[in-house]
Amino acid sequence: MDFQVVTNNFVFLIAQGFLGIGAFTGGTLRLAIPAIVFGFMLGTLVGLARLSPSRWLNWPAKIYVELFRGVPLVMVIFWFWFMIPTLSGKSLPEYSVALTAFVIFEAAYLAEIVRAGIQSVPRGQVEAATATGLAKGQLMRHVILPQALRNMIPALVTQFIVLVKDTSLASIIGYVDLTKAAQIVNNREIRPFEIYLFIAFVYWLLCYSMSRYAKHIERRFSVSHP
Amino acid sequence: MNYQFNWSVLWTGQSGGWLWLGVLTTLQIFVLGLALAVILGILSGALRTVPFALLRWLASGYVEFFRNVPLLVWMFFWYFAVPPLLPPVVQDWLFEHGVEFWAGVFALGVYHGARFSEVMRAGIQSIPKTQLEAALSTGLTVAQAYRLIIIPIALRLIIPPATNETLNLLKNSSVALTIGVAELTFQTRQIETYTARALEALVAGTLIYLALCLTISTILAYIESRVAIPGMIAQGQTGEA
């Protein structure tokens, strides 16, 4: 075992592969962070639609969620990889394809988190807010969403951990994330054990510390919410 | 959109056979991976709750290490990094019997074992502590109490969250295409490569995955209804893919 190969390629793996600073449009975080932000926006809309009393809103939302949760992410990435050129007539770069696929895929999971968060707000809050004369939109914006968001935070951090791990799959369409960067280095150096163990450690460090953080805030919130 | 669908590519030529082979390979890797994951999950999940610090610590180490690294990285690790370290006899056997398939089984089994472990631990922790105390006071050792009482009860409680994990394992088996296992997603791509009909192939693959998920969740729901303990449902980990 010789970890010299890791120190020699450290800058490429971390700057290019993990952060996305370098010659390629790549990077694990450069994909994961916009994907969770946009995915959460879309997920909130889908989650609200699922809770809507109108059948025209809650049925499509339910189908959306069940469809994407029943299909492997690899399959969804291939859909977008082949569908976008077929529908639009021009091919997009890997980054756009991967980001689109992740936003749409993650939104299905995030919608369920949003829905659970909203349903966790006690019914009495809705009744009290209605009694003070708030309209439906005001009720959602000022009373339910702020409390729901707070309840969702641990689940959102957990989902972000999942997303960071899932972004490794963007490498199958050629997006240069940490995993792809490791493949590139390994093709040149042929030291799979050291290289893959090193990137496993990088992922582990990020995901494990975030999961500790999620546990911590969960415990803190559960104290104030008896 | 002016795409002309041509569904016949799915049953003319070799496509139908490829899809069928893909389904079979997916099911094989799923069943073997699931068996390994369930065994590892029960063992490590139980060990995380026993009153011996060293065993708890070892089991937690396994879970936290494997759970927090992407499955794809484990696929590459078991496929590229591990075989050269094995004794030559094992290497020869592996290269004759499809090293990518067994690397895929191990990657899936060990990764999802760590995730099943969390479900198992939550299940055991949802059993009132008095159960273990009662078992110990009848003269059983800790090992006997776990084997005869705690684990059987926990297994009956965890079926709903375990169903979720089982479906995740099925979906994640598609990641094995990256190391060259000819499973369903791999065959879908193969049809695309040979016929240039991407959307038909992807729709077929997607529908097969949805059907497999539905079948598995129906079977597990039936088992759940047979073995459920009235009034008790374990709260496992949810929402992780």
Residue B105 belongs to a domain: yes
B241 close to B166: Cβ distance less than 8 angstroms: no
CATH no. for residue A134? 1.10.3720.10
- Predicted confidence band at B233 (pLDDT cuts at 50, 70, 90)? low
Kindly report the nearest CA distance between residue A55 and chain B, in angstroms.
23
Kindly report the nearest CA distance between residue A198 and chain B, in angstroms.
10
Cβ-nearest to B202 among A73, A78, A167 = A78
Q: How far is C-alpha B212 from the geometric centre of its chain's CA atoms?
A: 14
Domain count, chain A: 1
Rounded Cα gap, residues B179 and B83, in angstroms: 13
B177 in contact with A, Cβ within 8 Å: yes
Q: Which two tokens stand for residue A160?
A: 């972000």
Output the pLDDT for position B235. Answer: 46
Question: Strand (E) positions, chain B?
Answer: none
Kindly report, residue by residue over B118-166, the tens digit of the pLDDT. 999 999 999 998 999 999 999 999 999 999 999 999 999 999 899 999 9
Q: Which of left, alpha, beta for B180 (phi over 0: left; psi -120 to 50: alpha)?
A: left
Print the domain residue range for B214: 14-227
SS3 assignment, position A26: strand
Element (H, E) at A30: helix A28-51
Which amino acid is it at B31? V
Residue B214 belongs to a domain: yes
CATH no. for residue B118? 1.10.3720.10
Q: How far is C-alpha B126 from the geometric centre of its chain's CA atoms?
A: 23
Q: Work out the number of other CB atoms within 10 angstroms of the CB of residue A127.
A: 9
Q: Which two tokens stand for residue B18?
A: 């490829």
Rounded Cα gap, residues A110 and B118, in angstroms: 21
Residue B132 belongs to a domain: yes
CB contact under 8 A, B77 and A109: no
Rounded Cα gap, residues B154 and B135, in angstroms: 15
Print the domain residue range for A54: 4-224
For the ranges A68-82, A206-220, B28-42, B221-235, the maximum mean pLDDT occurs at: B28-42
B64 in contact with A, Cβ within 8 Å: yes
- State the complex-level ipTM: 0.88
Residue B237 belongs to a domain: no
pTM: 0.89
Residue B233 belongs to a domain: no
Q: Work out the number of other CB atoms within 10 angstroms of the CB of residue A85.
A: 14
Rounded Cα gap, residues B215 and B202, in angstroms: 20
Domain count, chain B: 1
